[in-house]
Amino acid sequence: MPETETPHPTKQQEIDPAAFGALAHLYRAEVFRSTHWRTRLDNTTNWAVVTTGIALSATFSNIAASPLPMVLVGLLVTVFLIFEARRYRYYNLFRARARLLEIDLYAPLLRGEGVKWNGAWGEMLGEDYETPHYHISFIRAAGRRLRSNYSWILAIQAVAYYGKVAIHPVPLTDMTEAFARAAIGPIPGWIVMLAGVIFHTGWIVFAIVTWRLDQLYRERRKSPMEHM
């Protein structure tokens, strides 16, 4: 007699109380870890905001103050963005696991539908624990943090620099005076201003490109978990 294939023992079966208790503790752990990394994201953003505020104070503190602090803070904010993008990859990993449990475990339970091992979300979560990996690339993570937080900080930095050159201590009368105010030591003012335009234009292009990458990735994603 040919052997019949034994069905997967966990598929379409009700989750027993012991397993459900383990899943509840697992959910609490994932929420804790995602909250922890969310706090670390906020800390990095706070550092960027505080340093920008210090640069503003130094730049506008007196008439003779140089606009150099506003130039340097743009570079420092870039460093914080790099740190935050790395942290966001960890946060995104734990958040995706928690969201998967919320959508496929707790939502059906609250609707009174019961919860079963349907072979989909359980396998996705199991594979993610067995072979953990980031769900988002560093470039896309940096793009998300730039669009949500750092674009505003960089915009304030750019406007403040323009204000310093244009109206402080007195309004400009011609571009020659603007270049003189923007000069940094032996570096001519027009080079400094051109570098600033390239710097901020580059971030605008980066934000648009990474936004488009996110859209394409959502359309082609292989696992719903990597979209959460």
Evaluate whether residue 227 is within a structural domain: no
Q: What's the pTM?
A: 0.82
| Distance in angstroms (rounded) separating the CA atoms of residues 62 and 160 | 15
Please check whether residue 97 lies inside any domain of the structure.
Answer: yes
Domains held by the chain: number: 1
**Is there a domain that residue 3 lies in?**
no
| 85 inside domain | yes
Q: Calculate mean pLDDT across residues 100-114.
A: 81
- Find the range with the poorest average confidence among 105-109, 119-123, 154-158, 220-224: 220-224
Q: Report how far Cα 7 is from the mean position of its chain's Cα atoms.
A: 42
Using CA of residue 124, residue 128, residue 131, residue 137, what is the dihedral sign?
positive
Work out the pLDDT band at 76, boundaries 50, 70, 90: very high
Greatest Cα pair distance, the chain, in angstroms, is 98
Alpha-carbon distances, residue 168 vs 59, 61, 127, 194 (angstroms): 10, 11, 59, 20
The string of pLDDT tens digits covering residues 8-67 is 444 456 676 777 788 889 999 999 999 999 999 999 999 999 999 999 999 988 888 888
Higher pLDDT: 72 or 120? It is: 72
In a domain, 118, yes or no: yes
Is residue 170 one of the residues assigned to a domain? Answer: yes
**For residue 140, what are its two tokens?**
């896309």
Tokens at residue 3, please? Answer: 């052997």
- For residue 211, give its domain range: 13-222
Strands (E), 60-199: 116-117
Confidence of residue 226 (pLDDT cuts 50, 70, 90): low
Token code pair at residue 57: 């104070």
Mean pLDDT of 90-118: 82
Does residue 1 form part of some domain? no
Alpha-carbon distance 206 to 151, whole Å?
11
CA neighbor of 152 nearest in space, from 48, 40, 38:
48
d(CA 111, CA 126): 25
The answer to whether residue 134 is domain-embedded is yes
Cis, peptide link before residue 171, omega less than 30° from 0: no
